[in-house]
Amino acid sequence: MNKAGYRICARCVMDTSVADITFDASGVCNYCSEFLAQSAVVLNQTEQRRAERLQSFVDEVKASGRGKRYDCVIGVSGGVDSSWALVQAVQLGLRPLAAHMDNGWNSELAQNNIANLVRTLGVDLHTHVIDWEEYRGLMQAFFDADVIDVELLYDNAMFAVNYQQAARFGVKHILAGTNQATEGMRMPTAWNWLKFDKRNIESLAARNDGLRLRTFPAIGTIEFFWNEFVRRIRWIPFLDYFDYNKARALEVLQSQYGYKPYLYKHYESVFTRFYQGYILPQKFGVDKRRVHLGTLVAAGQMTRDSALQALANIPYPSAAALEEDRQYFLKKMGWSAAQLDQYVARPERSHAAYGSERPLWNWVFATGEGRPLYRMLKNMYRRIYGRRQWQN
C-alpha cells in the first residue's frame, strides 16, 4: 500500500488497502455507499412490514416441510450469527436440523457453544467430520501454491454439507446466519476466491502427491446448479427477516444459552483466527476486520471511533494469545518456525494460475441480460420462487 496516497473512508473504515476503492467528494467510499444502497430495503423496513415478511416465510417453510422429519437445515459454526438463526428458528416453531462441518480446527469454545445450544433448544445435530490428514494435505497444497483464500476449503465444505443434508431429508430451505445488517458489505474481489470452485480445490490437491478428496464434501458449479434449480433448495439469508442487532443477540445468547463470545467475526475456528489475524495481514496485506467493522459502522451498529480503536490494535486479545495460536498452528501443521517465515515471505499467486471453474461459473451465473443461459435461469427461478426472490 502506498503510504503517501493513503486514504480512509470518512464514514466507515475501508481504506486504500483495497485496490478498487474510490471516494466521492465528501470522502465517502464506494464500498459503504454500495452497501447502504443495496441494503436499504432490509435496513429501512417498517416493523409491520418485517413482521409480515417473516410470518409469510415461516408459513412457507412449515408448509414445505409438512410430513418430513425437518423443515429446514441450519449450518452452525458456534458463531453469533448462526447461533442466533438457530434460536430464532426454534422460537418460531420451525423444526431445524443443525448441521456442522468439523475440519479439525474447532476451538473448544465453539464446540461448547454448539453443544449448549442444541441441548437447550432440543434440536438434532449432524456433524460431518473430515479426515484430519486429508484436510491437512489440502491446506498444505493451498499454502504451497501461495493462493490467498485458504478458507475456500472450509467454506466449500460447509456449503456442501448443508446442501447434502437438505437433499437427504427432502428439505427445501437452508436458513443461513447471513444478513445485510452486519455483513452486507461486499468482500473485495482480491481478498477471496469463488467459494464453489471445486476444480480449484481438486487441482491444488493433485499437486500434493496426487491427493484425492475422500471425506471432503466438495461442491462445484454443476452441483450448485443441481441443488438450486433442480432440487429447488433455497439458501436463505434468514436474519434479514429480523431487526438483527449483533450486540443484543450476543447478550441473549450469553444470558440464556451459556454462550461464550469471540473477539472478532469467524474467530470460532483456531485456524480462521490465525489466518485472519496473522497470515492475511502479514503475507497478503489484508485486514478483513475493515469489512466486518465497516459494515457495522455503516449500518449504525457501531461507532466509527470504536471501529478505529479496534483496528489500532492487533487482531488478537493480546500478543501472548497470538503466539499461542502460532505455536498451535505450527504443531498441528507439522511446520517449523522457519517454514512459516518462508511461507509468509513468498509472493502471492492467483488461484487462476491453477485449474479453476470460474469461467464456467461466470458463464452460467454472471448477471448479463445478453447471456441466453442467464435469461433462461432467471425465468426458471421466477416461475419457481417468484420475482422478488430473484431480485433479492
Ordered domains of the chain (ranges, CATH): 46-284+316-356 (3.40.50.620)
Q: 354 with 145: CB under 8 angstroms?
A: yes
- For residue 75, the surrounding DSSP H or E stretch is strand 72-75
Q: Which residues, listed in sequence order, are joined to residue 102 by a DSSP beta bridge?
A: 129
User: Which DSSP category does 97 fall into?
Assistant: E
State how far the Cα of 119 lies from the Cα of 98, in Å rounded to an integer. Answer: 11
* Cβ neighbours for 300, distance < 8 A, ≥ 6 positions apart: none
Q: 228 with 159: CB under 8 angstroms?
A: no
Tell me whether strands 173-176 and 234-237 are parallel, antiparallel or unpaired: parallel
The backbone torsions φ and ψ at residue 102, rounded to the nearest 5 degrees and listed phi first, read -105, 110
* Cβ neighbours for 230, distance < 8 A, ≥ 6 positions apart: none
Q: Is the dihedral of CA 293, 296, 302, 305 positive or negative?
A: positive
Q: 128 with 60: CB under 8 angstroms?
A: no
Q: Is the dihedral of CA 33, 38, 42, 46 positive or negative?
A: positive
Which residue reads 480449484 in cell numbers? 200
Q: Which three cell numbers mark 283?
A: 503475507
Which residue reads 494460475 in cell numbers? 353
State how far Cα 232 lies from the chain centre.
22
Which residue reads 434460536 in cell numbers? 87
State how far the Cα of 93 lies from the Cα of 123, in Å rounded to an integer. Answer: 12
In this predicted structure, what is the pLDDT of residue 263? 52
pLDDT per residue, tens digit, the chain (392 aa), is 556 789 999 999 999 999 999 999 999 999 999 999 988 888 888 999 999 999 999 999 999 999 999 999 999 988 889 999 999 999 999 999 999 999 999 877 888 899 999 999 999 999 999 999 999 999 999 999 999 999 999 999 999 999 999 999 999 999 999 888 778 899 999 999 999 999 999 999 999 999 999 999 999 999 999 998 889 999 999 999 998 888 899 999 999 998 887 654 445 678 998 999 999 999 999 999 999 999 999 999 899 999 999 999 998 888 999 999 999 999 999 999 999 999 999 999 999 999 999 998 888 876 554 455 656 655 655 555 443 333 33
Q: CA dist 185 to 54, 170, 249, 301, 308, Å? A: 23, 32, 20, 14, 17
State how far the Cα of 224 lies from the Cα of 233, in Å rounded to an integer. Answer: 10
Q: Apex CA 24: angle with CA 18 and CA 30, to 5°?
A: 40
What radius of gyration, in Å, describes the C-alpha atoms of the chain? 21
In this predicted structure, what is the pLDDT of residue 48? 94
In this predicted structure, what is the pLDDT of residue 9? 98
In this predicted structure, what is the pLDDT of residue 383? 53
Q: 206 with 144: CB under 8 angstroms?
A: no
386: helix, strand or coil = coil
CB atoms within 10 A of CB 275: 21
* Cβ neighbours for 127, distance < 8 A, ≥ 6 positions apart: 99, 100, 101, 102
Q: Which residues, listed in sequence order, are joined to residue 100 by a DSSP beta bridge?
A: 127
Q: CA dist 238 to 19, 40, 181, 322, Å? A: 31, 17, 12, 33
266: left (phi over 0), alpha (psi -120 to 50) or beta: left
* Cβ neighbours for 363, distance < 8 A, ≥ 6 positions apart: 371, 373
State how far the Cα of 252 lies from the Cα of 60, in Å rounded to an integer. Answer: 27
Q: 320 with 25: CB under 8 angstroms?
A: no
In this predicted structure, what is the pLDDT of residue 143? 98
Q: 83 with 246: CB under 8 angstroms?
A: no
Q: 160 with 107: CB under 8 angstroms?
A: no
